[in-house]
Structure formats: C-alpha cells, structure tokens
C-alpha cells in the first residue's frame, strides 16, 4: 500500500541514493520526525565529510563555509542527489545561537530557512541555552535508529567505516567557536576554522514524499524514481453465456504501456481455465471444452508500463458463438 514519509515511525532508516564521481550508492538516513515547520526531517546516518565551519574563527552559521557547501547543488553536498530527490527537499525554518549579530558579543537566536544543515544543540538533545531553543529534540529518534539507550551513545557520529568522529552543530558557543558532538557523544566546542570535525547533514523533506510500501525489506525515499518499468496486470470475468463462445475480438484501452501479453478464455468458471493468447490483431479462437455448468468469458492482461501511472482499461470482447 502506498505511503509517505510522514507515515513512518521516528527512528526508521530510510535509504537515499547519493552519487559521487559517477558511483551511486544507497545511503542510510534516520527519519527524525516532523519539525516545527511541518516538514519531515532526515539525518544522514553516517557523517559525510570532515570539513570546517568557517574559513576564519567566526561562529555565525548563515553564509558560513559549511552552510554554503551543504546547500550547494552544483558541486557541494546536494550535488550528490538526482533531480527527483532535490525536488522533494523543501526549505524549513531552523534556528541557531549566534554571538556576532549585535557586534558586541551578545548572544542572539537567529532563524533562517534551509533544505540542508547540521543539527543544533537542542535538536541533539541538550537543554536550551540563554539564547533559547534551537528546535525540538530528536534524541528519541536517534536512540531508536542506533539501538542505544544512553543519551551520549545515541548521539555519537560515525564515519562510513564505523569509527566515531566529532560532528559539528550549527550552534555557536562563542563569537569564535561552534559546538560539536564529541566522539563520546559529549558536547564540546572548537574554533570555527578547525578542520577535524565532520559534517553530518540533515535534510528537510516534503511530508507528501513517497517511500517504499509497508512490508518492504528496505525503505527508500522516492522508490518509483529507481524504476524504469512498472508491472501492470489484471484478470477479470466478462460474463457468462449459455452458448459456447468460439471466437472474439478484443477492445482494450491502455495508457503508457510499453508491452503487453493478453490472454482470453471461454471457460473462466473452470478450476483451470484454458487461456489462449490474443493475437496481434486482437482476435482469439477459443477451445471447446469446459467443466463448469456454463461458459464464462475471461481476460488476463500482463503488461509493462513506462510510468508509475500506467494502466489498462476495462476490456471488451466482440464475440462469435457456436450456432448449433
């Protein structure tokens, strides 16, 4: 049954395709839930890259080096995604602590709109500072996704090889220092120009974005975007007859069907109907045996569509009957 990302349980792992240097891989993300702007939030399970926040020691997130790289769809982080994934991303409101806006080092809470960004101090699960809350805590979702019950263990960021790494937060600690999640899940801070911590991107996704149906072994964002064909099939009865149908001409409307094999029978009521393939001209000649007490017409369509909305209409048969 079709479903959207908003139908998932917080902490569910969702896979997105990322392409780097021509190689595409399925990358796990954590579904964090719905944010205050009513958008879905995903967090990359593994940190993406060691990268500084700012070229100098200025801990203001908007317009910093990391902010520009994460939002860049040409040669930055967002360039890893195809057009369908980029179209599913939406701007959402995020807040961060900044000590530089007033010019005198006074702490301020700044709100901006972004599609891709690091989590904040409060979103990682720590209490709001004097500046105020930078968003709701997603710690419970992190615990579900990692299987960890302790706060610190659930917050640890890791590279793709499983090693713990420091992970930047977008929250300023002072005019020159950003906060980060340490390798033990603790909160630390470092110069904005430091290059040892990693970027662990979060994505804002439209709530109506489709995901794999319930029961799938792995859940993908935009699963239809990974397919080039769609199976379309139907089997149905077209009614009973006292006389034996001998031949028929099929009338069938289709939409975005690239190929189809169609069968018809005149003994659909039998336990094992005798299916006869309909010819390229739409005609079919039936057999002359049945086990049921009446004749019944049936049609079976096995088709391949070129789009997710491909369909076959209700078939009709123009029938000739045995005149005896």
Q: DSSP of 95-158, one letter per residue?
A: EEEESSSSSS---EEEEEEESEE---TTTTTPPPBTTB--S---HHHHHHHHT--SHHHHH-EE
pLDDT value of residue 227: 54
pLDDT value of residue 234: 86
Model pLDDT for residues 67-113, shown as the tens digit of each residue = 999 999 999 999 999 999 999 999 999 999 999 987 777 899 999 99
Residue 298 near residue 265 (C-beta atoms within 8 A): yes
pLDDT value of residue 273: 94
Ramachandran sector of residue 132 (left: φ over 0; alpha: ψ -120 to 50; beta: rest): left
Domain limits, the chain: 3-225, 228-321
Least confident piece of the model among 110-119, 176-185, 241-250, 310-319: 310-319
Terminal C-alpha separation, the chain: 49
pLDDT value of residue 305: 80
Model pLDDT for residues 20-31, shown as the tens digit of each residue = 999 989 999 999
Is pLDDT above 90 for 38?
Answer: yes
CA–CA gap between residue 221 and residue 265 (Å, rounded):
41
Residue 287 phi/psi, 5-degree rounding, is -75, 180
CA–CA gap between residue 141 and residue 182 (Å, rounded):
19
Sorting pLDDT into bands at 50, 70 and 90, what band is 1? low
Residue 247 near residue 110 (C-beta atoms within 8 A): no
Which residues are registered as beta bridge partners of 283?
A: 249
Mean per-residue pLDDT, 215-238: 80
Model pLDDT for residues 152-209, shown as the tens digit of each residue = 999 999 999 999 999 999 999 999 999 999 999 999 999 999 999 999 999 999 999 9
Which residues are registered as beta bridge partners of 43?
A: 30, 202
Q: What is the pTM of this model?
A: 0.71
Helical (H) or strand (E) element with 38 = none
3-state secondary structure of 6: helix
Residue 314 phi/psi, 5-degree rounding, is -70, 125
């Amino acid at each position: 049954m079709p479903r959207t990302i908003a139908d998932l349980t917080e902490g569910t792992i969702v896979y997105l395709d990322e392409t780097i240097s021509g190689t595409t891989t399925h990358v796990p993300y954590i579904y964090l839930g719905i944010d205050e702007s009513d958008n879905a939030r995903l967090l990359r399970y593994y940190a993406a890259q060691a990268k500084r926040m700012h070229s100098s020691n200025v801990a203001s997130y908007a317009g910093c080096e990391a902010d520009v790289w994460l939002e860049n769809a040409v040669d930055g982080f967002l360039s890893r995604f195809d057009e369908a994934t980029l179209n599913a991303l939406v701007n959402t409101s995020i807040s961060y602590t900044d000590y530089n806006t007033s010019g005198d080092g006074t702490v301020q809470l700044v709100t901006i709109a972004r599609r891709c960004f690091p989590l904040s101090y409060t979103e990682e699960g720590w209490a709001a500072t004097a500046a105020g809350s930078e968003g709701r805590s997603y710690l419970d979702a992190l615990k579900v996704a990692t299987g960890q019950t302790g706060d610190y263990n659930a917050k640890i960021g890791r590279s793709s090889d499983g090693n713990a790494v420091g992970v930047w937060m977008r929250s300023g600690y002072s005019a020159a220092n950003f906060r980060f999640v340490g390798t033990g899940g603790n909160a630390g801070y470092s110069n904005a120009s430091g290059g040892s911590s990693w970027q662990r991107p979060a994505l804002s996704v439209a709530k109506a974005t489709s995901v794999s149906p319930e029961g799938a072994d792995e859940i993908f964002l935009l699963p239809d975007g990974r397919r080039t064909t769609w199976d379309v099939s139907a089997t149905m009865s077209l009614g009973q007859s006292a006389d034996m149908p001998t031949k028929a001409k099929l009338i069938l409307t289709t939409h975005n069907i690239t190929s189809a094999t169609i069968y018809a029978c005149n003994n659909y009521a039998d336990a094992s109907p005798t299916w006869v393939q309909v010819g390229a001209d739409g005609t079919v000649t039936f057999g002359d045996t049945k086990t049921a007490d009446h004749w019944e017409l049936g049609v079976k369509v096995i088709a391949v569509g070129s789009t997710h909305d491909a369909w076959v209409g209700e078939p009709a048969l123009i029938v000739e009957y045995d005149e005896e």
